[in-house]
Amino acid sequence: MCSTELKFMNTPTFGAGKLSDGGIVCTACHKKINKANPSIAFKLKKHSVADIQALFQEKAESESTKNAKLEEIKTEIKKLNLNNVSTFFGRKEINELPQILAQNEKIDHIIQGTYNNGVGILVSTNRRLVFIDKGLLYGLKVEDFPLDKISSIQYETGLLLGKVKIHTSGNIADIENVEKASARTFAEFVRNKLSQPKEVVNQTNSEPNVLEQLEKLGKLKESGILSEEEFFEHKKKLLAKM
């Protein structure tokens, strides 16, 4: 996989680096394979050099897409003209947004705070509110609040900090330790959005759902589960909903 000369010190032990076509990967390449896909690294003997090259190519393309999406998200956040916007880009949660946000899901507000003993960000999008906490010890925690499930949103302010209270059916989520002015502006922004006619909110939220269903239909057709006729029939019904 690379130009490293194989020696005892850089060859995986117990034949763990052997490939199905007789090739052997070095320890460094084996670690890269394990990072890209642990199951392939575990059963490396069943895969060829071509398989591993394809894996690395797919991983590189995925990272490229992720980085491009991340830059788009950062541009969106900058356009919001929020206070201390640069501090958001220093948070690990921002880097997780490309995997968390759905296609065509747009950010319209964001604050920092604590929730369930975790420090993170509360993001408002055209579909939901979502709290993201990328902790050092417990990994990634994500909890979302769909707009159509939020009954009300309130805020409290103290001397320096504030609190945002999200009311859903049978539950109240307290986002604490929010910068005082940000707590007020965020809650009022979301409250105004919730006060819009329901058809406006539903229209905003329906487009990504239809697109996701179209994508699933395409995969079903490719796998042979749906025929060409069935695919176009379902596609026509979905497009009529948009």
pLDDT band at residue 202 under the 50/70/90 scheme: low
Q: What is the mean pLDDT of the chain?
A: 86
With 60 as the cut, is the pLDDT of residue 208 above it? Answer: no
Q: What is the pLDDT of residues 15-48, one digit of tens each?
A: 888 999 988 999 999 999 998 889 999 999 999 9
Instruction: Please give the span between the terminal C-alpha atoms of the chain, in angstroms, as a whole number.
Output: 47
- 84-195 carries CATH number 2.40.50.100: no
Q: What is the pLDDT of residues 73-95, one digit of tens each?
A: 999 999 998 877 778 887 899 99
Average pLDDT of the residues in 100-107: 91
* Residue ranges of the chain assigned to CATH 2.30.29.30: 84-195
High-pLDDT (> 90) share of the chain, %: 50
pLDDT of residue 209: 63
Average pLDDT of the residues in 51-56: 89
Q: Are 186 and 109 in contact (CB under 8 A)?
A: yes
With 90 as the cut, is the pLDDT of residue 216 above it? Answer: no
pTM of the model: 0.66
pLDDT of residue 231: 72
